[in-house]
Structure 1
Amino acid sequence: MKLLYPLLFALTLSACGGSSDSSSPAPVDPDPVPPVEDIELSADICYLMSTTLGDMTLAIDTTNTPITGQNFKRYVDDKFYDGTIFHRVIHNFVSQGGGFTSGLVEKPGYDPIELESNKGLTNAHYTIAMARTNVANSATSQFYINALTNTDLDYQNSTSPGYAVFGQVIEGLDVADQINITSTSNDVPVTDIVITSVSEANCPAM
């Protein structure tokens, strides 16, 4: 998977189209799928993610997003994320990591997974979602942390399927904030923010 700079923008840019010709019929979704009503995230597995800027506790939902949650667990169990970096930081938008090591060396992952964006989970502040290309079922290891509430990244319809939320930062919110305000050049942190380890932890009372 390449550096994927445009990958989160694909959804928002697609929403900017339209025609000023009022006689033109509105586009019809060829395969409409109604959005699921908003639900609460489930904290089924928790992980301590240690970074060079501090520690965060992540709660992962394997109840509502079993494919995505188990995919993240697989990478953690294999220690895949150890030594990877937050390679893409857009202030007041997202902090993306889990696919590159220092020097932007790509780390190959497993096969892509099925997109689980239509589960009623929203891209709220501090939630974690899977990064992907403009192909819906293309997510592998890369994830992002929402720096604000980004409902534009939610499922809209089958032609704007959004991004799959599967967890949230529940402790170390200040660390998530520090990651997102780090100095960058072309959205790449000037100083590497390294994920030193990810290990299973007890889930605190939420």
Structure 2
Amino acid sequence: MKLLLSLFILFLSHSSFATENPTVMMDTSKGQITIELFPNEAPKTVANFLAYIEKDGYENTNFHRVINGFMIQGGGFSADTGKRVDTLAPIENESTNGVSNKRGTISMARTNAPHSASRQFFINHKDNAFLDANVNKWGYAVFGQVTSGMEVVDSIAVVQTAGADKPIQSIVINSIKLLTK
């Protein structure tokens, strides 16, 4: 798998065919969100995200953490069972790529360990520059930007939540599909 990801990263960074950034469509129970990915700024993160799309398309996962005015986080738990879904190995943190956690950007979720991101992601609901890397700390790696469907993100951000910021009514990610390479 590492060889495949490495070859994909090499292809993206050196291909004369890669004239535009990859675009994905996230189909949710609240509507569709189109996201442009940034392989030049976050090649390992984009390759990781695309590997999950190829593996299972994030099918039938959910947004399990929603904080209005902050972010919506998903991709790591089954919408049916609520259990964690299988992950690949964690990836290297690319938060020093110069892209800020602004409203509408998509970033990798992780634990307090900087290189622990695997499958979960979040979409920033507002500008969250405090999540960016600086000389004193690791940040959260931005790897794309919502290009349409921000109204869907806004509608998810305002759902009613309970403990641990979990939506009371499940917000399902039906699938994420690659539209352009």
Aligning the two structures, in what range does the TM-score lie when normalised by the shorter sequence?
0.7 to 0.9
8 A Cα contact 2:57 2:177, kept in partner: no
- The alignment status of 1:84 with 2:57, answered yes or no, reads no
Where 2:56 maps in the other structure, the secondary structure is coil
| Alignment correspondent of 1:109 | 87
Which residue does 1:138 correspond to in 2?
A: 116
Q: Partner of 2:157 in structure 1?
A: 180
SS at match of 2:51: helix
The alignment yields a C-alpha RMSD, in angstroms, of 1.5
Give yes or no for the alignment of 1:127 onto 2:113: no
Q: Is 1:189 matched up with 2:179?
A: no
Q: How far apart, CA to CA, are the structure 1 residues paired with 2:137 and 2:20?
A: 27
Q: d(CA) in 1 for partners of 2:93 and 2:38?
A: 14
Structure number with bigger Rg: 1
> In structure 1, what residue type is equivalent to 2:142?
V
Q: Is the 8 A contact 1:43 1:167 kept in 2?
A: no
Aligned-residue sequence identity (percent) comes to 40
TM-score w.r.t. length of structure 1: 0.75
SS in 2 for 1:178: helix
Query: What is the aligned length?
Result: 161
Structure 1 alignment gaps of length 5 or more: 1-41
Regions of 4+ moved over 3 Å: none
Deviation at 1:104, TM superposition (A): 2.4
Q: Distance in 2 between matches of 1:57 and 1:151?
A: 23
Match of 1:32 in 2: none
Deviates more, 1:71-80 or 1:187-196: 71-80
